[in-house]
Structure 1
Amino acid sequence: MTTRTALDGLVAALLADDGRSAWPAAVPRRLGDMLAAMPGSARTGMRLAAAAVDAYACTRTGRRLHALTPAAREDVLSAMGGRAALLPFLDAVKVPVLLAAATERMLHSPQPRHPAPREDPPLLCVPSERWPDRSTADAVVVGSGAGGAMAARTLARAGMRVLVLEEGRHWTTAEFARRPPLERFTELYRGGGATVALGNPPILLPVGRAVGGTTVVNSGTCYRTPARVLARWCDSFGVALAEPALFDARLDEVERTLQVAPQSTDVLGGNGRLALQGADRLGWHATPLRRNAPGCRGSCQCVVGCPSGAKQSVQLSVLPDACSAGARIVTRARVQRILVETDRPGEPRACGVAVQRPDGTVFEILAPLVVVAAGALHTPALLRRSGLGRHPRLGRNLAVHPAVSVAGRFPHPVSGSPAVLQSVGIEELHADGILLEATAPPPGMGSFVLPGVGRELRAELEGAEHLATLGAMIADQSPGRVLGRSHPLPYYNLTPDDGRRLLRALHAMAEVLFAAGAVEVLTGIPTAPRVRTMPQLADVLAEAPVRRLHLSAFHPTGTAAMGADPAAFPVDPYGSLRGVRGVTVADGSLLPSCPGVNPQITIMAAALSVAEEVLRRDGV
């Protein structure tokens, strides 16, 4: 038995491949390409799972899965699915298969023709292979995402010689337009999108890796930092930069840069319109989301790079300004460590960075200022590798937005017209830390997993245009941590209170869908995947363990938090890392608690604040 044959058989069984359609036969190859981009542990796990199902088929029928008839293959999976303990296993296996299957089905269908994408503004990007072994700068910025881009622009505009280091590569809008979504997905996300926070339960935690960071692959939703959050940061944690009037001015600047505005209704799509309709019938507050996507064409591919160039991720909006002011971006550059010297007894100071190219060779950039903006998962690891991770709270205080999705089936098609990936926000429960958003990701790329196996799953996939999806995220109370030096290892346990809020969110989303006219709601709960009434859902939720939900999480923050108390916060209230001079943190790590909303413009405003503080402190 070969692993490839086992994987082929598993895909054929899950998708009820009877040879009558061309696209299912192409899924194993697509799946193999996707697994190749993932960490070794994910590849091994998927292949072992396929081998285990194949072994079960042999035990039950005496034949391998790929050698069985379509009906016999389905009988094998149905027998497995009849055992409650195996349902989570089967659903976990379905996730990558659905990603590959939805892509192949899309490619085998007629595709709408879109206008040519906008031309990108120029960037001064140099691959690390062409960068010299020794160079100098006034400031090095590690990371080109929301925080790093804003810090780089601010420092460069003040006349500093700025180098931005990015581990990923530069993607153009034209590349996004011509490559299938799944191919972009596996390259734009770290580990092919398979980053997982270990814990109870393990939670998928996808983060981007490209020039522009996660802003390239987020939804474009731009919530301002809630006033109650700023008040807490300022009053409870002593973060003077979070003083509401001051921070609001920074948010205004970020919104101008990103051209943030309410999403126009012409591309809300069926999901968004149904969310507004359902919320209105319930008397709940809902509105089109504010987004950084002027002229959005509704391609609904934000999470794999906007193919029209409408979404103003920072490689289109902030980094071009930084480069116009003289900054340069070195791509495919992994920072090994921050270089430190001691010019006075007991007072270490940063003097640059050591950086690794893809071929393993190392170059150095000497600079008196290092701005760390590698993200909440990678910033603690970099500081530890550099010998700067001694503060006991570094890597702790990890906050994320745990998320869950449901889908409603409607008698009429929902998708098919231009649509925004995240279109409408429902804030009825926001005071309790629950935010509902209408979502319409590319097929197979959402956190929602279609129910069933075999013919049932195939029918769900082929009837997906009748589904409207809602997603909910909660402001967590379950602080996790990031371990590791070479590679970060996030660890996160969901608290019972957060679990109850996720169930409450699921209940609320079903209310909206039924109010909008859904004939059934797909719950995402393996043991009870469908309900037709709210009382039926209430019974299901009363028995449903939260850890059986399909959970994902987004927006990691807080792992190098800023605050006034030196014992509680690794970073001072102005963004400087304690214990060393010349190191400033300017990413989501800074945020002292969960912001409760999509955090991009909060992170950018914080980075702007700390970069301006550097200029003020150094008299630039």
Structure 2
Amino acid sequence: MSGRIRTGDELTEDQTLTCDVCVVGSGAGGGVLGLELAKRGLDVVMLEEGGYHTRRDFDLNEAKAYSTFYQEAGNRATDDLSIGIFQGRTVGGGTAINWCACFRTPPEILERWRDTHGVKGLDAATLAPHWDWLEERLNIREWPIEQSNRNNRILWEGLGALGYSRGTVKRNVRSCASLGACGLGCPTNAKQSMLVTLIPEAVEKGMRLFANVSARRLETQGGRVVAVHAEVLNPGTDRPTGKRLTVKAKVTAVCGGAINSPGLLLRSGLTGRGRVGKRLFLHPVVVSNAHFREPVEAYTGAPLTVYSRQFIDRGQGRLGWLLEVPPLLPILSSLALTGLGPAHQDQMARLPYANALISICLDGVHPGDEGGTVALRGEGEYTRFKVNYPLNDFHWEAFREALKVSARIQFAAGAEQVSSPHSRPVVMRSEKDLGLLDDAPYGPLQLSVLSAHQMGGCSMGGSPETSVVDSTLRYWDADNLFVVDGSVFPTALGVNPMESILGIAHWGSQHVAAAV
């Protein structure tokens, strides 16, 4: 039996569907789960709030990409606007617009989940065969340093000059043209996202995918989900058409990602005994900007191919961080660079000579670090989400020290000038100026902080009093409801999360299938 992909403009009347499993979301979690269930011969209906876009739509237009393929048109942020949040909203989810970095979950993180949060039966050995399958299916291979762009080689050279640990990143690509625009969607289908791999295969095996359909509420009766109520959106305007889609499934799997998944549960009155929306982790990021004498052209070439975990474990309850580089596309760079008027204009004029290092902070692994929260803004089915993430002294200390390390690396690689992401940037012209960072202000909106990785909000654990789902990903208080995405992580990871989500979804599919 072959399924179909339908978009909002095809849904011209109210419909009610029945199936074995309703999967809400089509990103890393939903994409893997949909295929694995379809392979077992189950009748699967997948709902995706975003649109269905193919390589013909990925035309490298930044303004179009952010407004079309990202949550809230690329403007999602914490409630106080102190952290900008980049998150996918399209068929394929984040896998369609991320930078292709693939890391297995660090063993020490899985051990922490077991020892501190009571997660059972989930360790590196258990996940290894699932990762093996995914790495073969998605062609996840290490990207050679010889093929890395100048932006990444600056990090590589600076790390080497200072004797810091360094590695090359595995990427899920085939015949990559190194265009540098991974965050805008891949126009050559080189990126092995869910959009071009597992979702088409699942559709061939009978899965029905509905794009431009926003799940608004889960209806429950007697401790079971009996229906998913969704509204149809106009693909052109992204506004509701007034048509409704209701899915009655034996089992429902929520795979909308951190923020959206806890938001849907809360909208449905499912609070997980007060735990839904708690322990949201954002991997908060600060960016160190440098200028070089020779061209860097960080807007072309594979965007992320080098990393360092030298500073991931700083001990004594201090936040550690992962070092990587971002692509410096013009609009993205204009948002990341601080300063106003002529100062900002000058930085943009020198973009071909710019390099940036990002420090991705590992949150949620120290006592007292509870991360942030997802709550509802108002009441009812049409309410939006409120994301709070308090930045505390341990964040500011980590950001300050991370900026010092980044500047040191950039100077070691030959930078002429390094500037901080403060609202009034700290400008350094040699390593002797690093002390200027100690005197700079650190507080919300005084320092630009970003997030491209969202985790938690429906945490997995050993008790319904301390977690939202159990060690099989089942919601504690509903027999036929599962959450299968990064929202189940009890802590952040300290690495890019895509492969962790893929692996846990592949492993978790057996539990979802067994509940049908």
TM-score normalized by the length of structure 2:
0.90
> Match for 1:353 among 204, 224, 228?
228
In the TM superposition, residue 356 of structure 1 has moved relative to its aligned partner by 0.6
- CA deviations 1:259-298 (Å, max 9, x no partner) are 1111134541111111111111111122221111232222
Cα pair 1:562 1:569 within 8 Å, conserved: yes
Give yes or no for the alignment of 1:611 onto 2:513: no
> Match for 1:412 among 294, 298, 302?
294
The 5 Å alignment of 1:364-403 reads 364-403=246-285
| Aligned partner letter, 1:467 | A
Larger radius of gyration: 1
Structure-2 separation of matches of 1:404 and 1:123: 44
Cα pair 2:426 2:440 within 8 Å, conserved: no
> Match for 1:594 among 492, 500, 514?
492
Identity of aligned residues (%): 28
Cα pair 2:227 2:246 within 8 Å, conserved: yes
| Aligned partner letter, 1:428 | Q
Structure-2 separation of matches of 1:123 and 1:258: 22
Structure-1 separation of matches of 2:178 and 2:184: 14
The 5 Å alignment of 1:569-584 reads 569-584=467-482
| Aligned partner letter, 1:601 | E
The 5 Å alignment of 1:559-570 reads 559-570=457-468
| Aligned partner letter, 2:386 | L
The 5 Å alignment of 1:129-140 reads 129-131=9-11, 133-140=15-22
In the TM superposition, residue 617 of structure 1 has moved relative to its aligned partner by 4.9
Further displaced range: 424-433 or 394-403: 424-433
Tell me, which stretches of 5 or more residues in structure 1 are unaligned? 1-121, 343-347
Q: Which has the higher strand share?
A: 2
Structure-1 separation of matches of 2:185 and 2:309: 27
Structure 1 runs (4+) greater than 4 angstroms displaced: none
Secondary structure of residue in 1 paired with 2:164 = coil
In the TM superposition, residue 438 of structure 1 has moved relative to its aligned partner by 1.9
Give yes or no for the alignment of 1:459 onto 2:346: yes
Structure-1 separation of matches of 2:360 and 2:32: 26
Find the counterpart in structure 2 of residue 314 from structure 1.
194
Further displaced range: 582-591 or 237-246: 237-246
Cα pair 2:37 2:509 within 8 Å, conserved: yes
Structure-1 separation of matches of 2:272 and 2:143: 45
Give yes or no for the alignment of 1:197 onto 2:78: yes
- CA deviations 1:428-469 (Å, max 9, x no partner) are 112233111022231131486435444443332222111111
Distance of aligned partners of 1:242 and 1:155 in 2 relative to their CA distance in 1, 3 Å threshold: same
| Aligned partner letter, 2:418 | V
Give yes or no for the alignment of 1:509 onto 2:406: yes
Give yes or no for the alignment of 1:154 onto 2:36: yes
Find the counterpart in structure 1 of residue 149 from structure 2.
269
Cα pair 1:405 1:506 within 8 Å, conserved: yes
Structure-1 separation of matches of 2:463 and 2:68: 40
In the TM superposition, residue 338 of structure 1 has moved relative to its aligned partner by 1.5
| Aligned partner letter, 1:324 | E
| Aligned partner letter, 1:284 | Y
Secondary structure of residue in 1 paired with 2:328 = coil
Further displaced range: 525-534 or 583-592: 525-534
Structure-1 separation of matches of 2:131 and 2:392: 32
| Aligned partner letter, 1:494 | L
Further displaced range: 607-616 or 372-381: 607-616
Cα pair 2:418 2:428 within 8 Å, conserved: yes
Cα pair 2:323 2:360 within 8 Å, conserved: yes
- CA deviations 1:309-342 (Å, max 9, x no partner) are 2111111122122112211210100112123233
The 5 Å alignment of 1:437-476 reads 437-446=324-333, 449-476=336-363
Give yes or no for the alignment of 1:229 onto 2:99: no
Distance of aligned partners of 1:294 and 1:446 in 2 relative to their CA distance in 1, 3 Å threshold: farther
> Match for 2:433 among 514, 533, 536?
536
Structure-2 separation of matches of 1:447 and 1:505: 22
| Aligned partner letter, 2:55 | T
Give yes or no for the alignment of 1:489 onto 2:386: yes
Secondary structure of residue in 1 paired with 2:41 = coil
Secondary structure of residue in 1 paired with 2:173 = coil
In the TM superposition, residue 599 of structure 1 has moved relative to its aligned partner by 0.6
Secondary structure of residue in 2 paired with 1:488 = strand
Distance of aligned partners of 1:447 and 1:258 in 2 relative to their CA distance in 1, 3 Å threshold: farther
Find the counterpart in structure 2 of residue 330 from structure 1.
210
Distance of aligned partners of 1:427 and 1:179 in 2 relative to their CA distance in 1, 3 Å threshold: closer
Cα pair 1:123 1:320 within 8 Å, conserved: no
Find the counterpart in structure 1 of residue 52 from structure 2.
170
Distance of aligned partners of 1:181 and 1:449 in 2 relative to their CA distance in 1, 3 Å threshold: closer
Find the counterpart in structure 2 of residue 185 from structure 1.
66
TM-score normalized by the length of structure 1:
0.76
Structure-2 separation of matches of 1:448 and 1:411: 23
Structure-2 separation of matches of 1:592 and 1:451: 33
| Aligned partner letter, 1:352 | A
Tell me, which stretches of 5 or more residues in structure 2 are unaligned? 234-240, 315-319
Cα pair 1:301 1:441 within 8 Å, conserved: no
Further displaced range: 369-378 or 429-438: 429-438
In the TM superposition, residue 371 of structure 1 has moved relative to its aligned partner by 0.5
Find the counterpart in structure 2 of residue 521 from structure 1.
418
Distance of aligned partners of 1:363 and 1:556 in 2 relative to their CA distance in 1, 3 Å threshold: same
| Aligned partner letter, 1:597 | V
Structure-2 separation of matches of 1:523 and 1:400: 21
The 5 Å alignment of 1:4-19 reads none
Further displaced range: 265-274 or 448-457: 448-457
Distance of aligned partners of 1:285 and 1:416 in 2 relative to their CA distance in 1, 3 Å threshold: closer
Cα pair 1:203 1:552 within 8 Å, conserved: yes
In the TM superposition, residue 508 of structure 1 has moved relative to its aligned partner by 0.9
Distance of aligned partners of 1:241 and 1:542 in 2 relative to their CA distance in 1, 3 Å threshold: farther
Secondary structure of residue in 1 paired with 2:32 = helix
Structure-2 separation of matches of 1:286 and 1:448: 28
More contact order relative to length (CA 8 Å, sep ≥ 6): 2
Cα pair 1:376 1:589 within 8 Å, conserved: yes
Further displaced range: 585-594 or 238-247: 238-247
In the TM superposition, residue 390 of structure 1 has moved relative to its aligned partner by 4.7
Find the counterpart in structure 2 of residue 428 from structure 1.
310
| Aligned partner letter, 2:459 | A
Distance of aligned partners of 1:542 and 1:251 in 2 relative to their CA distance in 1, 3 Å threshold: farther
- CA deviations 1:114-136 (Å, max 9, x no partner) are xxxxxxxx983101443461221
Structure-2 separation of matches of 1:451 and 1:609: 43
Structure-1 separation of matches of 2:121 and 2:172: 24
Structure-1 separation of matches of 2:258 and 2:165: 32
In the TM superposition, residue 545 of structure 1 has moved relative to its aligned partner by 1.6
